Amino acid sequence: MSNTVRQSLKRRVVELIGRELPDELFCEAEEDGLRVKRRADGTPVVPDIPLEPLYRRVEEKPDERRTALYAFVSRVLAAVRGQTADRSLAGRESRIYPVLRHASLLRENPDRWVSRSHTEETAILYALDHGEGYTLIEREALAEAGWSEEMLHRRAMANLEGLPVPIKTEQVGPNRIHFISPRDGYAASRVLLTSMLEEMERSKTGDALGVAVPHQDVLIVADLHGETGAQLLARLAHDFASKGPVPISPLPFFWERGELVPFLVVQHGTQPRVRRKKNRRD
């Protein structure tokens, strides 16, 4: 895609979002994405919004440019509405869910949100669902509710366990690839359902159970045969991570002894090899 087309899309997105924002907020373009900020102090309302998923969608399906553009704007506005909605937790226990984010988000904002350790690549945060978008729960809101972090986690997990788990399966050679992608904003969160992963591990016929959480709207679980299967999952994770509106991790994982172990595909001579990473949690 030419730089001219990218700049045109970026300007149009900023224009469309700006029309819908309340007076106290504004949208500005950066080199690789967007930011929605408060006019009063310039603080961001939502994390940086990457534009690469929109660019890729338009490049792959140029005839659907208008549809892709308006869908992207709609998702951004839903996220903004979620972040600016009433954040009180009292009486909203049934609308709280766990969500995954890349661990770098917490390194940039270590004290803002309630979080829980997950893997070296990922962290668990918590969301208050507003129907059209959700609010990431901040420590201040938790204190106002008088809840402990463990209480919040238990309530969020109970709600997650009540959601359906629709699965679409594709066979690629000997490997069975399961895609979990409900349109509720919590697809990747279902990786926290350990009983589901344990059941899939028991039923696998390959050498390993692979898992990927490339972005918030998809969870991939795969019955993998050999290094070829692991390499296939690594390609899928990287490809999906570049397409989702809220990327999480481009690295895939093995599910081993009840833990997610990230792995890399590295070049060894003329042959790619699978290498596990040490899972150092903060």
Q: By C-alpha distance, which of 206, 215, 194 is closest to 260?
A: 194
Distance, in Å, from the CA atom of 241 to the CA atom of 215, rounded to the nearest integer, reads 6
What burial letters (b/e) apply to 167-185, b meaning 16+ CB within 10 Å? Answer: eeeeeeeebbbbbbbbeeb
Q: Compute the radius of gyration of the chain from its Cα atoms.
A: 20
Confidence class of residue 56 from pLDDT cuts 50, 70 and 90? confident
* Confidence at residue 67, expressed as pLDDT on a 0 to 100 scale: 86
Q: By C-alpha distance, which of 188, 199, 9 is closest to 101?
A: 188
pTM exceeds 0.85, yes or no: no
Most trustworthy range by pLDDT among 34-48, 133-147, 158-172, 237-251: 158-172
Contact 27, 14 (CB under 8 A): yes
State yes or no: pLDDT of 269 exceeds 80.
no
Distance, in Å, from the CA atom of 217 to the CA atom of 240, rounded to the nearest integer, reads 10
Most trustworthy range by pLDDT among 56-65, 85-94, 208-217: 208-217
User: What are the backbone dihedrals phi and psi of residue 31, each rounded to the nearest 5 degrees, phi first?
Assistant: -60, -45
Which residues make beta-bridge pairs with 128? 96, 135
* Confidence at residue 276, expressed as pLDDT on a 0 to 100 scale: 78
* Confidence at residue 149, expressed as pLDDT on a 0 to 100 scale: 95
Q: What does pLDDT average to over the chain?
A: 89
Lowest-confidence segment of 28-42, 110-124, 127-141, 263-277 by average pLDDT: 263-277
State yes or no: pLDDT of 135 exceeds 70.
yes
State yes or no: pLDDT of 190 exceeds 60.
yes
Contact 263, 253 (CB under 8 A): yes
Lowest-confidence segment of 17-26, 82-91, 98-107, 157-166 by average pLDDT: 82-91
Contact 237, 212 (CB under 8 A): yes
Q: How many whole angstroms from its chain centre is CA 201? A: 23
* Confidence at residue 146, expressed as pLDDT on a 0 to 100 scale: 92
Question: Which DSSP letter does residue 24 get?
Answer: T
State yes or no: pLDDT of 278 exceeds 80.
no
Confidence class of residue 281 from pLDDT cuts 50, 70 and 90? low
* Confidence at residue 91, expressed as pLDDT on a 0 to 100 scale: 85
* Confidence at residue 220, expressed as pLDDT on a 0 to 100 scale: 97
Distance, in Å, from the CA atom of 49 to the CA atom of 130, rounded to the nearest integer, reads 20
Section 243-252 average pLDDT? 86
Q: Regarding predicted confidence, which is higher, 95 or 134?
A: 95
Confidence class of residue 86 from pLDDT cuts 50, 70 and 90? low
Q: Provide the residue count of the chain.
A: 282
User: By three-state DSSP, how is residue 70 classified?
Assistant: helix
C-beta pairs of 56-61 under 8 Å, 24+ apart in sequence: 56/242, 56/243, 57/243, 58/1, 58/5, 58/9, 59/1
Q: How many whole angstroms from its chain centre is CA 264? A: 20
* Confidence at residue 85, expressed as pLDDT on a 0 to 100 scale: 65
Of all residues in the chain, the percent with pLDDT exceeding 70 is 95
Confidence class of residue 225 from pLDDT cuts 50, 70 and 90? very high
**DSSP codes joined into one string, 158-192:** HHHHTS----EEEEETTEEEEEE--TTS-TGGGGG
* Confidence at residue 282, expressed as pLDDT on a 0 to 100 scale: 45
